[in-house]
Chains A and B, each alone.
Chain A
Amino acid sequence: MHLLRKLGFYLVALWAAVTLNFFIPRLLPGSPVDAVLAKLALRGPVDPGTRRAIEIMLGADDDTPMIQQYFAYLGGLFTGDLGISVTYFPTPVTQIIAQSLPWTLVLVGLATTITFVIGMVLGTFAGWKRGTWLDSLIPATTILQAVPYFWLALLFIYVLAVNLDLFPISGGYNPSMVRPAFDYPFLSNAVYYGFLPALTIVLSSLGGWLLGMRNMMVSTLSEDYILTAEAKGLSPRRIMVMYAARNAMLPSVSGFAISLGFVVSGSIIVESVFSYPGIGFTMLQAVNNNDFALMQGLFLIITVSVLAANLVVDLLYGVIDPRTRARG
């Protein structure tokens, strides 16, 4: 029952994303055709026939009722048809997404996992040693959290890449040295290029995890069962890890949804700063070229990935916290 409810929620969220994706371009003022025409007009006078050509190119020449278009769109999604990119004409959108998705998945996935682990461990200690000098470190992490992702990225590029020449300024790998393949030269090169983007994401999202965990630790440590555990004479380490941290972690795990949205949003801009060949960078190129099919395909794939990651975390949560299973 609990599982069905969860799956139902994700289906509703998926439907909402798909529907938003369909209606945003059709209900907002200004059509994609106007946007492309406005861009062309900057370069010189536009031929009257151009409008018709662009309409056909973007599929805006459709006179069928909107509800019919909607179902045609849903059908297209099921067959994996997301349209054709204008930027990389005539490559299908799905192919471009397939090229850029692995970069982002690895970058954001690894960075988020690292951040989560560091945040939980440090938060556990900060909560355990509450009232000591560690407390004075907490405000520092929140200031780090208030730093915009992309500004931190700019600083890293300026100091570490431009001035000290330790890391590359942009890109995902060095195309003149290695080719994408599953071998050591390519992977090590990719790690070298991905280090600064990952560091940016880790540093700017660490504060939230750390603070949340620390506050939950402080709350949990004043529970009666902690006192009981102390009275039983259990070792402090066991109390800290098995009694306090295990319970204090739960809100952090269930808060994964909110934070992942933030991380993905932040990584889009980080990718654009580093020209990292992932989803975010591709999305901004689509924006700059008025490539609406690509943009919407990317929005869809980002949303689906976030939903999928949350579904996995939710299912894991049932394993971690037996109470959720009992309730259902």
Chain B
Amino acid sequence: MAQTQSQTPSRLRAALGRALTPSLVIGAGLVLAIVLFGLIAPFFVADPNAVDNAGMHGPSAQNLLGTTQTGQDVLAQLAWATRGSLLVGVIVAFLALFLSAFFGILGGYLGGWLDEVFSLFTNVVLILPGLPLMIVIGSYVQQRGLLLIAIILAITSWAASARVLRSQTLSIRNRDYVQAAKIAGEKPHRIIAVEILPNLLPVMSSGFVFALITAILGEAGLSFIGLGVNGTQTWGSMLFYAQNGQALTLGAWWWFVPPGLMIAVLGGGLSLINFSIDGIINPRLRNAPKQLKRVKQAGKQAEQEQAERAEGDTGPDERDETSGHDPDQEEVAV
């Protein structure tokens, strides 16, 4: 008893140490910084919509990121836009996660005609281009609330991860412990919740992070063409106003660089997190560099030993490689 107690923390620490790769730490740091900025900064900045007669000017002590054409503080707008974009992103990611889990796991586990219908539906949604569909829907609805935009974004972005979840479910479904649970008379919903879902968690969290990136990019695109949420500041709407306010030709880089940079940094941070999740799911990716180094070292050692043994004389196998006719090389060239 005492032994297991002392062992668990160290094993946990080892697992944590393996998971805490540099890319995870950097990625999580970037994401956390942006989230905190979106949560806290809006309380401290000036009114983002307050118009000032001074007009557009670059960064100064009073306006750290300069002002827009109508004298609005860019930093204040950025703070509120961060909050708006993150809010949309998180709502969409949860909706998309739910949809993909529903169609992917349920179809994959139950199989039969339900699976056929579900995967046909998934593939059709996957192949239809998302943004044109969003544009058509968005332009018909005049009152675009937050929820409506979130739903539009979610229904166009769940399909890819539903397909991944389905194939994972298919492989887990046939494992021994799931079969055992079935024979033991467990109900399907319990098998899905207890036996299958925990094994899908890494894939689902990777899908969630991916959905978050897609949602924020999609919302930015939609807002950039003026079809975003009415009356809510997001990174996309900032860029929309910057583009329409001639920020480019007037050289107002402080207006259009920050929102895009925030999207890029957040997306980069989320991808770094996804990298480490990928490494956990697929150990081959994580171990490949180490393995290669080991192989290289072994190769060097063997070379050295061979060189010591041969002492200047070229080995017969080496001669073969250089002078012998190699039909493979020609095939490659073709």
Contacts and interface: CB of A to CB of B under 8 A. Distances in A.
A234 B332 CA distance: 12
B132 interface: yes
Interface residues of A, number: 77
Contact of B289 (A130, A151, A233, A290): A130
Interface stretch (A58-66, A75-83, A93-101, A303-311): A303-311
Contacts of B326: 235
B131 A131 contact: no
Given A35-B140, A154-B260, A238-B331, A146 B267 contact: yes
A34 B142 CA distance: 9
Most buried by A among B131, B132, B220, B242: B132
A268 B140 contact: no
B284 A219 contact: yes
Interface in A113-172: 130-131, 135, 138-139, 142-143, 145-152, 154-155, 157-158, 162-163, 169
A30 interface: yes
Interface in B204-237: 213, 217, 220-221, 224-227
Interface string A7-36: 001001100110011001100111010110
B332 A142 contact: no
Given A12-B124, A25-B140, A303-B132, A147 B328 contact: no
Interface string B312-334: 00000100110000101101100
B263 interface: yes
B288 interface: yes
A159 to B, nearest CB: 9
Contact of A295 (B135, B239, B253, B263): B135
Most buried by A among B217, B282, B331: B217
Contacts of A69: none
A83 to B, nearest CB: 14
Nearest to B26: A139
A237 B127 contact: no
A252 B217 CA distance: 22
A172 to B, nearest CB: 19
Contact of A284 (B225, B271, B329): B225
Contacts of A268: 131-132, 135
Most buried by B among A162, A218, A290: A218
Contact of B260 (A16, A155, A266): A155
B331 A283 contact: no
B12 to A, nearest CB: 28
B135 A162 contact: no
Nearest to A140: B268
Contacts of B63: none
A257 B127 contact: yes
Contacts of B224: 148, 150, 269
Contacts of A148: 217, 220-221, 224, 260, 263-264
B37 interface: no
A13 B129 contact: no
Contacts of B251: 158, 162-163
B91 interface: no
B264 A283 contact: no
B128 interface: yes
A297 B268 CA distance: 36
B248 interface: yes
B213 A146 contact: yes
B225 A139 contact: no
Contacts of B160: 258
A315 to B, nearest CB: 15
B260 to A, nearest CB: 3
Contacts of A135: 289
Contact of A215 (B225, B268, B271, B285): B285
A218 B221 contact: no
A266 B270 CA distance: 20
A109 B284 CA distance: 34
A188 interface: no
A84 interface: no
B70 interface: no
A106 interface: no
Contacts of A287: 135, 139, 225-227
A238 B128 contact: no
Given A12-B124, A143-B267, A28 B275 contact: no
Contacts of B41: none
B123 A9 contact: yes
A186 B220 CA distance: 35
B124 A13 contact: yes
A37 to B, nearest CB: 10
Interface in B248-266: 248-249, 251, 253, 256-257, 259-260, 263-266
A283 B225 CA distance: 11
A143 B132 contact: no
A221 B295 CA distance: 13
A261 interface: yes
A312 interface: no
Contacts of B128: 13, 16-17, 20, 261, 303, 306
A302 B263 contact: no
B263 A147 contact: yes
Nearest to A8: B120
Nearest to A255: B160
Given A20-B128, A169-B249, 8 more contacts: A13-B127, A20-B133, A146-B267, A233-B317, A260-B129, A264-B132, A287-B225, A303-B132
13 contacts: A143-B271, A146-B268, A158-B248, A215-B282, A219-B282, A260-B129, A261-B128, A264-B129, A268-B135, A284-B225, A287-B227, A298-B132, A302-B129
Shortest 6 CB-CB contacts between residues of A and residues of B: A146-B267, A151-B260, A265-B131, A131-B289, A143-B268, A131-B292
